[in-house]
Structure 1
Amino acid sequence: MKNTSLILSAILLLVSCSKHSDPEPMNPDTSMYFPANTGTAWETTAATQLNWNTGAIADLKTFLAQKNTKSFMILVNGRIVMEEYFNGHNAAAEWEWNSAGKTLVATTTGIAQQEGLLNINNKASNYIGTAWTNMPLEKENLITVRHLLTMTSGIDDTKQLVIKPNLTYVADAGTRWAYGNVFQKLIDVVAGASNKSFESYFNEKLKNKIGMDGFWNFGTIFTIYHSTTRSMARFGLLALNKGKWKNEQVINEAFLNESWSTSQNINPSYGYLWWLNGKSKFMIPGEQTVYNGFLVPNAPADMYAAMGANDQRIYIVPGKNMVIVRMGNASDPNNPNFAVSGFDHDLWAKINAVIK
Structure 2
Amino acid sequence: MKVLIPSFYLILFLLISNCSTNETVIEDVTEIESVYFPTVDGTNWETKSINSLNWNESQLQPLLDYLEEKNTKGFIVLHDGKIVIENYFNNHDIESNWYWASAGKTLTTAISGIAQHENLININNKVSDYLGTGWTSASIEKEQLITCENLLSMTTGLDDSIGDSVLPENLQYVTDAGERWAYHNVYVKMQDVITQASNQSWSNYFNTKLRDRIGMTGAWIPFSDLSVYWSNTRSMARFGLLMSANGKWETSQIIPENFINEATSTSQDINRAYGYLWWLNGKNTYHLPQSQLEFNGELIPNAPSDMFAALGKNDQKTYIVPSKKLVIVRMGEAADNSNFALSTFDNDLWEKINLLID
When normalised by structure 2's length, the TM-score is: 0.90
Q: Please, which moves more after superposition, 217-226 or 44-53? A: 217-226
Aligned to 2:10: none
Distance 2:199 2:129 in 1: 13
Deviation of 1:112 (Å): 0.3
- Residues 1:151 and 2:154 aligned together: yes
**Alpha-carbon displacement from aligned partner over 1:35-88 (angstroms, at most 9, x marks no partner):** 000133110100000000000001000000000000100000000000000011
Distance 2:199 2:304 in 1: 41
Deviation of 1:222 (Å): 4.0
Map of 1:122-271 to 2, 5 A cutoff?
122-158=125-161, 159-271=163-275
**Alpha-carbon displacement from aligned partner over 1:320-355 (angstroms, at most 9, x marks no partner):** 1110000000001xx210001100000000000000
User: Any conservation in 1 of the 2:318–2:329 contact (CA below 8 Å)?
Assistant: yes
Aligned to 1:59: 62
Distance 1:325 1:275 in 2: 15
Pairing partner for 2:326 from 314, 322, 327:
322
Distance 1:30 1:237 in 2: 15
> Percent same amino acid at aligned positions?
55
Pairing partner for 1:306 from 288, 310, 314:
310
Deviation of 1:29 (Å): 8.9
Aligned to 2:123: 120
Question: Which residues of structure 1 form unaligned runs of 5+?
Answer: 1-27
Deviation of 1:217 (Å): 1.3
**Alpha-carbon displacement from aligned partner over 1:264-283 (angstroms, at most 9, x marks no partner):** 00000000000000001000
User: Highest Rg: 1 or 2?
Assistant: 1
**Alpha-carbon displacement from aligned partner over 1:203-223 (angstroms, at most 9, x marks no partner):** 010001101000001334542
SS in structure 2 of the partner of residue 173 of structure 1: coil
Q: How many residues align?
A: 327
Q: Compared with structure 1, are the counterparts of its residues 204 and 293 closer, same or farther at alpha carbon in structure 2 (3 Å cutoff)?
A: same
Distance 1:236 1:276 in 2: 15
User: Any conservation in 1 of the 2:42–2:215 contact (CA below 8 Å)?
Assistant: no
Map of 1:335-346 to 2, 5 A cutoff?
335-346=337-348
Question: Which residues of structure 2 form unaligned runs of 5+?
Answer: 1-30
SS in structure 1 of the partner of residue 311 of structure 2: strand
The one-letter code sitting in structure 2 at the alignment partner of 1:49 is S
SS in structure 2 of the partner of residue 223 of structure 1: strand
When normalised by structure 1's length, the TM-score is: 0.91
User: Any conservation in 1 of the 2:165–2:185 contact (CA below 8 Å)?
Assistant: yes
Pairing partner for 1:102 from 101, 105, 116:
105
Distance 2:181 2:42 in 1: 42
User: Any conservation in 2 of the 1:91–1:229 contact (CA below 8 Å)?
Assistant: yes
